[in-house]
């Protein structure tokens, strides 16, 4: 687990978006193994993101007209998986994050912490190699934020999924395996 900390406006979110292939860098490369992800054609880049990277955003980005189950199914359906199988995968990961009894609730019927756990489940449903999280607890109260921290750390340890977390939360950063500080768009070790 890697935490990236720094003041607002130094480029942490931009870094995360470039790392995940959402934004293109103005110079340089992003290598995954020995493949420059930005040398991939658009369709292959989208496939790379779907298959290899999970995203958790501060503002959940859940579709309000869909249930928790349907929101988590979306990445699986994009992969053209059978809808029944997609529902099974989504239900399993939602149960794993403690929402097994809230599958059919829409985001507006869920607390902020529950919405963020839906976002975590959506990021994990395809078992990505890496999860990129942009202020995953920035929108939550202290108690709920700590519960989400514990969930992310547990998943990191149990599943071996790499997390890169951009955060202002020093408690979360201190629990990461490595901390980098971003200053004026440059990364350096924090400890």
**41-92 pLDDT per residue, tens:** 988 888 888 888 888 876 668 888 999 999 999 888 888 888 899 999 899 9
pTM, two decimals, is: 0.84
- Residue 142 pLDDT more than 80? no
Q: What is the pLDDT of residue 10?
A: 81
For residue 150, count other CB atoms closer than 10 A to its CB.
Answer: 11
- Residue 172 pLDDT more than 70? yes
- Residue 119 pLDDT more than 80? yes
Integer CA distances (angstroms), 191 to 3, 9, 173, 176, 177, in order: 11, 22, 11, 11, 10
Nearest to 126 by CA among 100, 159, 173: 159
C-alpha span between 140 and 137 (Å, rounded): 5
């Amino acid at each position: 687990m890697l935490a990236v900390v720094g003041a607002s406006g130094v480029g942490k979110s931009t870094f995360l978006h470039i790392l995940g292939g959402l934004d293109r860098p103005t110079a340089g490369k992003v290598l995954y193994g020995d493949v420059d992800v930005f040398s991939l054609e658009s369709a292959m880049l989208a496939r790379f993101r779907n298959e290899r990277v999970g995203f958790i955003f501060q503002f959940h980005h859940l579709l309000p007209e869909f249930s928790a189950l349907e929101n988590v199914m979306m990445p699986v359906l994009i992969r053209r998986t059978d809808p029944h199988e997609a529902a099974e995968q989504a239900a399993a990961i939602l149960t794993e994050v403690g929402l097994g009894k809230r599958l059919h609730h829409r985001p507006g019927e869920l607390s902020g912490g529950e919405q963020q756990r839906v976002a975590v489940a959506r990021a994990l449903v395809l078992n990505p190699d890496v999860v990129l999280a942009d202020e995953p607890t920035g929108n939550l109260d202290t108690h709920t934020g700590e519960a989400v921290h514990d969930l992310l750390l547990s998943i990191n340890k149990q599943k071996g999924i790499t997390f890169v977390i951009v955060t202002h939360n020093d408690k979360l950063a201190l629990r990461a395996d490595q901390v980098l500080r971003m200053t004026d768009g440059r990364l350096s070790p924090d400890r």
